[in-house]
Amino acid sequence: MPGFLKKATVLAGAAIALLSLNGCQKEDGKIHVELGMWPAAQQTSDVAMFNIWKQRFEADHPEYVIEPANYEYAQDTVAVGAMSGTLPTVFQTWFTEPSMLIEQGYIRDVTDLVKEVGYYDDMDSFMRETLEDEEGNLYGIPRDGYGFGMLLNLRSLTYYGLIEGDIDEHEYVLYDESGDPLYPTTFEELAEWAELITTNSGGDCRGTMFYSANRQGGWLFSNIAWNFGAELMTIDTGGAPHASLNEDAVVDALQYIAGLRSNGYLVEGTSFVYNDWYSNINERMAIAFCGSDVIQNAVTQGSMERNDIAFVPMPAGPGGDRYSLYGGTPFVFAENATDEEVRGALLFLEYMGRSPVMSEAQKTAMVEGKQTSLSKNEPILPSIRPWTNEEYNSYADELDEQYVNVNQEYFDDFFDSIDAMRKEEVPYEAQKMYDYLDQAVSAVLTNPNMGREEIKNQLTTLNQQFERDLSKYA
């Protein structure tokens, strides 16, 4: 069980409960459920699909009214919503957040209701534990998972001579005759590729980029540091966490990034955020680090052809460590939501195709989700699934067979290895750690000639600050 939840409390819940209205039952006598994951207005095809699901649900469950409530989770606004009692009944967050949300009393225990609707036993155990406290109380439902990997622009890699292929036919050679990968499987090989891409393109295309802002640089860098042999956080025998951001392996990883930067193998710039990868992958760089849940952005927002994309595992570090940071998106429920509202929100997941219950409503929604993605010209890919029951996965396999519209060979290595490579985010104050690591990455991108001692000193300062943040768990 993740250690962070062993220290979580719900003492703030009582205070928030005092602010709650007595349920959400309106003058019409119906139970109103606010769906925070409702698409934004400009996502017209998604809004249309949700409206169909709303109509079906309300026809089958006339005691409920579904209220659209597009809500984008943010750490600096969730407290205001919680304390004012205005959070939606259900909303999406990140797997790093349940510890804080539980501790502050912003979300509620849904264990009994999840068991009542029949979802509990079919949930991926890894994801479920991420959403539980030490007593095994459940505070959310997983939407999906992701793992970090490398997205390859196969067209660019072929054009600049890194791999063989037929650009016009979108056919590429990623494996040798023995089936061994021809793409980089170590960070050393990645550096060699970054040099060749930059040299062969005359600087028009670079190897990759590293993010360094909005905590997204630290998020990616944590995965790189692990692969260089770092721990970043240790847990003592009493269960208390301690910062270890100044390990030699972290210095090694930063020096690696600095070397790529000083040699000109990275896209020019020192303050990239995560969204910048898909606006650069089509022309300005050949390899992007990203999660498996946003591969489609290379097409929908980066203008790539879907059959020019491969997604492969993270490279191994100097000592052979090879992990993929594993996270995801859960649905969580506002602390002041009543049992009736939560039950309605859980039942609505079936009409979204997001439950393990294989009813006609569930199956129809799963198909409609695929068809809507096709209408937006998105690549249809396999995914990391939140449910383990055979009926769900059998039907999901059927849909993949019917709708996946990319060359599966270019994705198999990642999806075949993710279970063995996955490593969960640190169990305490992950977002704060990412903020500190952002600063470290930004420093070496801005001044790639920083000496090892200077990098170590900066990390020691950041480590001291992070240790103070962690001291409340002692």
pLDDT 10s digits, 13-57: 444 443 343 344 567 899 999 999 999 999 999 999 999 999 999
Q: How far apart are CA 471 and CA 474, in angstroms?
A: 5
Q: What is the mean pLDDT of the chain?
A: 93
pLDDT of residue 190: 98
User: Looking at the predicted structure, is the pLDDT value of residue 140 above 80?
Assistant: yes
pLDDT digits (tens, 9 = 90+) for 375-390: 988 899 988 999 999 9
Could you tell me if 163 and 197 are in contact, meaning their C-beta atoms sit under 8 angstroms apart?
no
Q: Is the dihedral of CA 152, 155, 157, 158 positive or negative?
A: positive
pLDDT at 229 over 60: yes
Q: Residues 382, 461: one domain?
A: no
Q: Tell whether pTM > 0.95.
A: no
In 132-169, which positions are buried (b, 16+ CB within 10 angstroms) versus exposed (e)?
A: bbeeebbbbbbbbbbbbbbbbbbbbbbbbebbebeeee
Give CA separation, 41 vs 38, 45, 51, 424, in Å. 9, 10, 12, 34
Regarding whether 158 and 209 lie in a shared domain, the answer is yes
- Is the pLDDT reported for residue 262 higher than 50? yes
Which structural domain, as residue segments, surrounds residue 458?
147-326+417-473
What number of residues does the chain have? 474
Tell me: do 273 and 398 sit in the same domain. no
Q: How far is CA 448 from CA 150, 223, 227, in A?
A: 23, 20, 21
Q: For the chain, report the end-to-end CA distance as a whole number of angstroms.
A: 18
Domain boundary among 368, 386, 409: 409
pLDDT of residue 26: 67
Q: Are residues 465 and 402 in the same domain?
A: no
* pLDDT, position 134: 82
Pairwise pLDDT comparison (217 vs 283), residue with the higher score: 217
Number of domains in the chain: 2
Residues 228, 234: Cα–Cα separation, whole Å: 16
138 and 9 housed in the same domain: yes
CA dist., res. 112 & res. 116, Å (int):
6
Yes or no: say if 211 and 336 are a contact pair by the CB < 8 Å rule. Answer: no
Boundary of a domain, candidates 369, 391, 409: 409
Same domain? 272 vs 235 = yes
Do residue 255 and residue 362 come from a single domain?
no
Look at residue 28 in the predicted model and tell me its pLDDT. 85
Last residue of a domain, one of 377, 392, 409: 409
- 369 with 461, same domain? no
| 349 and 390 share one domain | yes
- Give the pLDDT mean for 116-138: 94
Same domain (yes/no): 24, 94: yes
The per-residue pLDDT for range 163-211, each reduced to its tens digit, is 999 999 999 999 999 999 999 999 999 999 999 999 999 999 999 999 9
The mean pLDDT value for 5-16 works out to 41
Banded pLDDT at 75 (limits 50, 70, 90): confident
Task: Please report the pLDDT score of residue 19 as a whole number.
Answer: 39
Domain identity same for 83 and 157:
no
Q: Is the pLDDT of residue 1 over 80?
A: no
The CATH number of the domain where 333 resides is what? 3.40.190.10
> CA–CA separation, 293 vs 381, rounded Å?
9
Are residue 314 and residue 338 in the same domain, yes or no? no
% residues pLDDT > 70 (the chain): 95
